């Protein structure tokens, strides 16, 4: 968006991309602070409009009631991390999240990066083998 736009032009643009999302089968629910929860396939993302255009305020995740659970990668398995705790991510949920992200980015005109096209990208990466790792072992001499 150019810098010469006024507030009413920005709101028209905001309604414009929301209408495009609704026409593509997404559901849009207003949230606090002018943010919008966009959902489809049981997944959702919270989007906000900025001077540069729409952007993710909260990355896409799995809808759990009124909340979004974020994808957490623990190295050996992916988990959903939400207000009610962590629970294992199933393959079908990851496929649905991937489809949701692809559709959302296409409708919003956002760049789809190579690594996003390969599969699901986690919000956080926590590997057990790194977290809390023991220090180097000191070997005692035989002397």
**Full residue range of the structural domain in which residue 12 is found:** 7-125
| Largest Cα span, the chain | 82
Residue-wise pLDDT tens digits, 41-89:
999 999 888 777 778 888 889 999 888 999 888 777 888 888 888 899 9
pTM of the shown model: 0.67
Does residue 38 lie in a domain region? Answer: yes
50/62 Cα distance (integer angstroms):
24
C-alpha distances in angstroms, 23 versus 8, 19, 28, 117?
Answer: 22, 6, 11, 23
Does residue 133 lie in a domain region? Answer: no
Does residue 142 lie in a domain region? Answer: no
Highest mean pLDDT among 63-67, 110-114, 121-125: 63-67
Does residue 48 lie in a domain region? Answer: yes
What is the band of 115 on the pLDDT scale with cuts at 50, 70, 90?
Answer: low
Number of domains composing the chain: 1
């Amino acid at each position: 968006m150019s810098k010469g736009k006024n507030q009413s032009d920005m709101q028209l643009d905001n309604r414009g991309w929301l209408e495009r999302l609704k026409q593509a089968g997404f559901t849009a629910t207003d949230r606090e602070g002018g943010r919008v929860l966009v959902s489809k396939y049981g997944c959702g993302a919270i989007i906000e409009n900025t001077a540069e255009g729409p952007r993710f305020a909260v990355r896409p995740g799995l809808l759990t009631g009124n909340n979004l659970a974020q994808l957490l990668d623990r190295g050996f398995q992916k988990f959903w991390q939400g207000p009610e705790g962590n629970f294992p991510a199933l393959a079908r949920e990851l496929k649905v999240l991937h489809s949701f992200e692809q559709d959302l980015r296409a409708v919003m005109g956002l760049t789809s990066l190579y690594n996003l096209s390969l599969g699901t990208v986690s919000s956080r990466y926590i590997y057990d083998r790194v977290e809390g790792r023991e220090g180097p072992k000191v070997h005692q001499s035989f002397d």
